[in-house]
Amino acid sequence: MDKNIPYKIYLGEEELPRQWYNVRADMKIKPAPLLNPATKQPVTLEEMSKIFCTELARQELDNENAYIDIPAEILDFYKMYRPAPLVRAYFLEKALDTPAKIYYKFEGNNTSGSHKLNSAIAQAYYAKKQGLKGVTTETGAGQWGTALSMACSYFGLDCKVYMVKVSYEQKPFRREVMRTYGADVTPSPSDTTKVGREILKKFPGTTGSLGCAISEAVEKAVTSEGYRYVLGSVLSQVLLHQSVIGLEAMAACDKFDIKPDIIIGCAGGGSNLGGLISPFMGRKLRGEADYRFIAVEPASCPSLTRGRYAYDFCDTGMVCPLSKMYTLGSSFIPSANHAGGLRYHGMSSVLSELYDEGLIEARSVEQTSVFEAATQFARIEGTLPAPESSHAIRAAIDEALKCKETGEEKTILFGLTGTGYFDMTAYQKFNDGNMSDYIPTDDELEKSLSQLPDIN
């Protein structure tokens, strides 16, 4: 154990970042603009403001300002659970017998159980400031819905969550946390929207999909006076808010003279990975330092490693703007991978551009090996990780084991985005030996990719 570095590095409240960092400002090639699906032209602030809060739409379109002040009300809320600890994985290092130094930034120390709260509170704040009554959203696995419920409860905003029906029924505890925070949770498809009623008529007995839930949430927002729609990942505004993860991690590293060689995060829509790496990427883009960045995605939903960099719909319902990103096609239906938060066909346009330029690496890992890493980590480091986060753990362990072979003393930093307390059904499957892996065939991917919009 290194005497100079404690197990858990907690920054003081006064060291909490006062500004978010917008990596787009330092990118030489900016992410391609969002397009209006009807006109195929870049969406304007005005168009966007019909769906999103105006200030958030502004942040979405801002490729210029590197730093954006975090409002005092959001800082106050952040202080309830931030700064989040940077943990030195001494026990894991010892168990792996590796010369590598392993650190993880832990974002699970709050009731939503993940990093999602960082953006939820920001989005709720801007909605409140705009004088709105409430917001609508969809949730699949439930982490985003929980975080948004907490944020809305704090600001006294109404929160309408469309929860994919199969999750609503199979994850009653997630649903109850949202209800405890006063959210109105509706299983989707529902009879509360036109699109929901149409789907129910066409497919009676359907258990729903994320695409349908998004469509219902968007319809509810645009047809209700004083409501807007909010989204927990993929968007550039979300990456901006999540930069607080990376800023804190970087401040802690700088304070203790820790120099990461490799920075690893799981990648679904990109909110956690983008947030963690943004400030480090900024240094790399400005030529101040160099790092290897690794995005880890499930082999069952491999948008970076097997997708195409093209314009596509962000939602299955095809109501949102078109985004240029690594995608498997918006009609791609991911298999039942238990990391619900990573079952997304596309990827943040910011990360997609950085990956296309070779500034980020990507790899895919299979579910069973992810749960092996999760269980190993839980037993050694004492924290039961979320399946999503465990993709990053898998890659971190693999890199540490490579160091053992080569004898290199690399410093590895990964994002531990959350806890797995609401994912015990998946752990049970693994504990019972009933977990299987699934990798889509080339034909399957070709089929969904062939349905990309004709703008490409």
Residue 16 or 25 with smaller CB distance to a second copy: 16
The residues, any chain, with a CB within 8 Å of residue 278's CB and separated by 6 or more, are 21, 22, 23, 239, 242, 243, 246
Q: Work out the number of other CB atoms within 10 angstroms of the CB of residue 276.
A: 31
Interface mask toward a second copy for 44-83; x: CB under 8 A:
---------------------------------x-xxx--
Q: Distance (Å, rounded) from C-alpha 81 to C-alpha 133?
A: 26
Work out whether 368 is an interface residue with a second copy (CB under 8 A).
no
Judge whether 350 and 31 are in contact, CB under 8 Å: yes
Which of 49, 63, 65, 153 binds a second copy (CB under 8 A)? It is: 153
Residue 181 or 355 with smaller CB distance to a second copy: 181
Work out whether 384 is an interface residue with a second copy (CB under 8 A).
yes
Which of 296, 427, 435, 440 binds a second copy (CB under 8 A)? It is: 427
Judge whether 294 and 395 are in contact, CB under 8 Å: yes
Give the range of 59-67, 353-361, 393-401, 415-423 binding a second copy by CB under 8 A: 415-423
* Location of structure tokens 């439930």: 142
Q: Distance (Å, rounded) from C-alpha 399 to C-alpha 419?
A: 22
Please report how close the Cβ of residue 29 comes to a second copy at its closest, in angstroms. Answer: 40
Residue 77 or 313 with smaller CB distance to a second copy: 77
Residue 269 or 420 with smaller CB distance to a second copy: 420
Residue 80 or 289 with smaller CB distance to a second copy: 80
Give the range of 49-57, 126-134, 304-312, 422-430 binding a second copy by CB under 8 A: 422-430
Give the range of 201-209, 223-231, 337-345, 381-389 binding a second copy by CB under 8 A: 381-389
Residue 336 or 455 with smaller CB distance to a second copy: 336
**Token code pair at residue 245:** 């993860």
Residue 358 or 382 with smaller CB distance to a second copy: 382
Give the range of 179-187, 221-229, 248-256, 351-359 binding a second copy by CB under 8 A: 179-187
* Location of structure tokens 């900016």: 30
Instruction: State the pairing for strand pair 262-266/322-327.
Output: unpaired
Residue 106 or 280 with smaller CB distance to a second copy: 106
Which of 57, 122, 141, 177 binds a second copy (CB under 8 A)? It is: 177
Work out whether 182 is an interface residue with a second copy (CB under 8 A).
yes
Which of 173, 357, 401, 404 binds a second copy (CB under 8 A)? It is: 173
Binding site for a second copy (CB under 8 A): 6-8, 10, 12-13, 77, 79-81, 91, 109-111, 113, 150, 153-154, 172-173, 176-177, 179-182, 375, 378-379, 381-384, 419, 421-422, 424-425, 427-428, 431
